[in-house]
Amino acid sequence: MRLYMKFFAMHLKSQMQYKASFFMSAIGQFLISFTALLGVYFMFSRFNAVEGFSFGQALLCFAAVLMAFSAAEMLGRGFDLFPRMLGNGEFDRALVRPRSAVFQVLASKMDFTRLGRLFQAVLVFCYAIPNSGVAWTAGKILTLCLMVACGSLVFFGLFLVYAAFSFFTVEGLEFMNIFTDGGREFGRYPFSVYGKGVLAFLTFVVPLAMFQYYPLLYLLDMERGALYALAPLAGPLFLVPSYAFFRAGLRRYKSTGS
């Protein structure tokens, strides 16, 4: 952890060397996500509710997904750029160093301009929490925190899978954006609005619904019980097959010779 914090500080200092560029990029990230927020607003300006969920309730899950994705992308940016490491031979150097390959890829890049999205998620939370109709208790506050924390780990697992595919293809597979950036975009609304088939897929295959939809039902008193309150804890289990897939790709890795 101490070594990771050194990398954290190093990346932050390097990006802050050009403060104007850093803040302009962060503002750009804020504005890009703001268009998605406008889409939700215009939808609910036309319809009072979507699948029984109000505007404030939809914003609650939107903010949780946006914050989880932004945190994972900010700290796990190295996996998004992993195909480049394979292509230029940089990953070969990582394999001869006395640290795990996963740690070195994780620490190779952190993108703090994603703080623009995180800031927007905080603002959305400030509106949604008092306007969602949730009767807040200590248990529900804990569930909301788990939604964000466990959601970040799910997205991190998806970035890990994306990087693992690069062992087999050298180049990154763009279809993974359906689950990473697509998961953030689809997360603007509770996943049940997309149909039972999509909800089942996002429950048992890519567990995005485990930290977005099911705990939301608990917060809104639509469902009761510990299974819904603690559903986000099932999300981090996705890291197990994600890491196993990465290790499988690592075992068959052959240098590109660059």
Could you read off the pLDDT of 30-42 as tens digits, one per residue? Answer: 888 788 888 888 8
State the DSSP code for 117.
H
Domain residue spans in the chain? 2-8+20-251
Q: Please, which pLDDT band fits residue 239 given cuts at 50, 70 and 90?
A: very high
The number of angstroms, rounded, from the C-alpha of 56 to the middle of its chain's C-alpha atoms is: 21
What pLDDT, on the 0 to 100 scale, is given for residue 62?
92
How does pLDDT run across 245-257, given as a tens digit for each residue? 999 988 888 776 5
Please check the confidence at residue 119 and state whether its pLDDT lies above 80: yes
Q: Please, which pLDDT band fits residue 233 given cuts at 50, 70 and 90?
A: very high
Mean of pLDDT values over 197-204: 93
Q: For residue 209, which of 125, 147, 117 has the smallest C-alpha distance? A: 147
Q: For residue 180, which of 205, 207, 212, 155 has the smallest C-alpha distance? A: 155
Residue 49, token pair as written in the block? 């509710």
Phi, psi of 172 (to 5 degrees): -70, 150
Q: Are 78 and 106 in contact (CB under 8 A)?
A: yes
Q: For residue 240, which of 207, 216, 193 has the smallest C-alpha distance? A: 207
Mean of pLDDT values over 166-195: 82
What pLDDT, on the 0 to 100 scale, is given for residue 191?
93
pTM score, whole prediction: 0.91
Please check the confidence at residue 243 and state whether its pLDDT lies above 90: yes
Mean of pLDDT values over 147-159: 94
Please check the confidence at residue 173 and state whether its pLDDT lies above 70: no
Mention every residue, 6+ apart, whose C-beta is less than 8 A from residue 41.
55
Q: Where are the alpha helices (DSSP H) in the chain?
A: 2-15, 19-46, 55-75, 77-80, 82-87, 90-95, 101-108, 115-131, 138-169, 181-186, 196-204, 209-219, 226-229, 239-251
Q: For residue 190, which of 251, 128, 244 has the smallest C-alpha distance? A: 128
Length of the chain: 258
